[in-house]
Amino acid sequence: MIPVAQRLAILETERLALRPITEADATDIFPLMDDPAVMAFWDVPEIDDPDVVAGMVRGQVAAMAEGRALHWSVHALADDGFLGSCDLSDIDRRHKRAEVGFMLCRDSWGHGYAQEAMQAVIAFAASSGLRRLTARTHLGNRRSESLLEKLGFSEEGLLRGHVLRDGERRDCRLFGLLL
Ligand SMILES: CC(C)(COP(=O)(O)OP(=O)(O)OC[C@H]1O[C@@H](n2cnc3c(N)ncnc32)[C@H](O)[C@@H]1OP(=O)(O)O)[C@@H](O)C(=O)NCCC(=O)NCCS
């Protein structure tokens, strides 16, 4: 279990602040998850009901309290603007591994923010004792795969028909990084 003080730490980079999410962040996260462009390669389609997103964020806050996951909202240091979110989920202390996730608002793509945020998350994961990180992408998510490669992840396999979305089975790629 990652100690509470460490779990609740704000991670700062050159341009960003990553803050542990709270239920109030649902207001910012809703428009992100309501955007079809952002959700094109997500396991579920865009969510047009703010209450569903609020319930999801409540679940993430609960998972953090139980030490199962860490979720951060990502803000620009310059003006505190909300840029997106990222996380470590499925934290397995026995095997010292977790899964990474990240999503940015559409107009925040192409500035290197995801790379900068995830470098901080990976450093945090390593310093808290995790030794393996995984990520899963839907086939065709070029931006996500390019980011993972820049972060040092290697492709480890293809998960055939892993996701059922919009009535169709989608293949996923599995990526891994040993710390
Ligand atoms: C995946 C996602 C976070 C990647 O965002 P991104 O902005 O492309 O990622 P990066 O932070 O790596 O930025 C790379 C881009 O920033 C550019 N860039 C600009 N300034 C930069 C800087 N200072 N440093 C690094 N890159 C910079 C790069 O040239 C590159 O642009 P390009 O792809 O047009 O060549 C984003 O596409 C997203 O939120 N997608 C929807 C959600 C999603 O699919 N999540 C992943 C599920 S597995």
- pLDDT tens, position by position, 114-136: 999 999 999 999 999 999 999 99
SS3 123: helix
The pTM of the whole model exceeds 0.85? yes
- Please indicate, yes or no, if residue 146 is contained in any of the structural domains: no
**Within-domain flag for 55:** yes
Give the integer Cα–Cα distance in Å for 50 and 27: 8
Residue 153, in any domain of the structure: no
**72 within domain boundaries:** yes
| 179 belongs to a structural domain | no
**How far is the centre of ligand 1, averaged over its atoms, from the C-alpha of 65 (Å)?**
30
Asked if the structure places residue 175 within a domain, the reply is: no
Q: Find the domain containing 46 and state its range.
A: 4-136
In a mutational test of the pocket of ligand 1, which residue from 115, 119, 133, 170 has the highest number of ligand atoms less than 8 Å from its CB? 115
Residue-wise pLDDT tens digits, 38-86: 999 999 999 999 999 999 999 999 999 999 999 999 999 999 999 999 9
- Please indicate whether residue 85, judged by its CB atom, sits closer than 6 Å to ligand 1: no
| Total structural domains within the chain | 1
| H-type alpha helices, 11-112 | 26-33, 36-39, 50-65
- In short, whether 112's Cβ falls inside 6 Å of ligand 1 is yes
In a domain? residue 169 = no
Mutate to test the pocket of ligand 1, among 16, 85, 111, 145 (most ligand atoms within 8 A of CB): 111
Q: What is the predicted pLDDT for the residue at 1?
A: 61
Q: Is 144 in the pocket of ligand 1 (CB under 6 A)?
A: yes
Provide the CA 5 distance to its chain's centre, in angstroms.
21
Q: Is residue 160 part of a domain?
A: no
Q: What is the mean pLDDT of the chain?
A: 96
140-149's contacts with Cβ under 8 Å and 24+ in sequence apart are 140/41, 141/40, 141/41, 143/109, 144/41, 144/102, 145/173, 145/175, 147/102, 147/114, 147/115, 147/118, 148/175
Integer Cα distance of 10 and 19 in angstroms: 5
The Cα–Cα gap between 126 and 66 comes to: 20
Q: Whose CA is nearest to atom 48 of ligand 1?
A: 137
Q: Is the Cβ atom of 147 under 6 angstroms away from ligand 1?
A: yes
Q: What is the CA radius of gyration of the chain?
A: 16
pLDDT band of 7, cuts 50, 70, 90: confident
- The CATH number covering residue 121 comes to 3.40.630.30
> Beta partners for 170?
163
Question: What spacing in Å lies between the alpha carbon of 127 and ligand 1's midpoint?
Answer: 25
